[in-house]
Amino acid sequence: DAKTTQPPSMDCAEGRAANLPCNHSTISGNEYVYWYRQIHSQGPQYIIHGLKNNETNEMASLIITEDRKSSTLILPHATLRDTAVYYCIVRVAGANSKLTFGKGITLSVRP
Amino acid sequence: EAGVAQSPRYKIIEKRQSVAFWCNPISGHATLYWYQQILGQGPKLLIQFQNNGVVDDSQLPKDRFSAERLKGVDSTLKIQPAKLEDSAVYLCASSFPGGSTEAFFGQGTRLTVV
């Protein structure tokens, strides 16, 4: 699976949009981009995933560049409860596909 | 919908003792994962099952760790004998098979080896 690169940390103000970047320059055509987050002392939680097109759900939006070498997770109105470690993962399509975590980015939402 | 159940939530053992963790995945999920998460790091995949067959165990320290998934449902992960560096949170996750499906995680078991 292709590797991902994320900055180690970032912060944003409560109520503002949080834009979390991820680089995956070696991604292949059959690999999905996944985002999970992990709030302190809990198991990782799925947020969103996409292949080529931008995706939106009730939690977030995922913007994937046209060349698919990078993506951005957008939390439109960050709250204090969004403070967590966010993992960007590239995952190949297929029945035995692995889910490999990196170090993630720590998002701190300040009041 | 019931989530992934893990037990125990916490365990403290002395080094060289053995310990076992249990996981009950979401009903119908054929794929089951065990991860080890050391403090300050991302989860590391130890083993992945598809039904009761092992798909990947390349990062499982097989001299001391073992895992099984009898009947393709529940799973147990065992450490024998435990070392101090095994102190970590052990996470279980399950999903439908395939690279376009989300995995659901349990709360994890926090192991402390003293």
Cβ of A101 within 8 Å of Cβ of B44? The answer is: yes
Report whether pLDDT(A91) > 70.
Answer: yes
pLDDT of residue A1: 61
Per-residue pLDDT reduced to its tens digit, B83-111: 999 999 999 999 988 777 899 999 999 99
Cβ of A32 within 8 Å of Cβ of B50? The answer is: no
Q: What is the DSSP letter of A49?
A: E
Torsion, Cα B31 A36 A102 B61, to 10 degrees, reads -30
Residue type, B44: K
Of A51, A92, A102, the CB nearest to B42: A102
Per-residue pLDDT reduced to its tens digit, A2-54: 689 999 999 999 999 999 999 999 999 999 999 999 998 899 999 999 999 99
Residues of chain B under the 50 pLDDT cut = none
Mean of the per-residue pLDDT values of chain A: 94
3-class secondary-structure state, position B72: helix
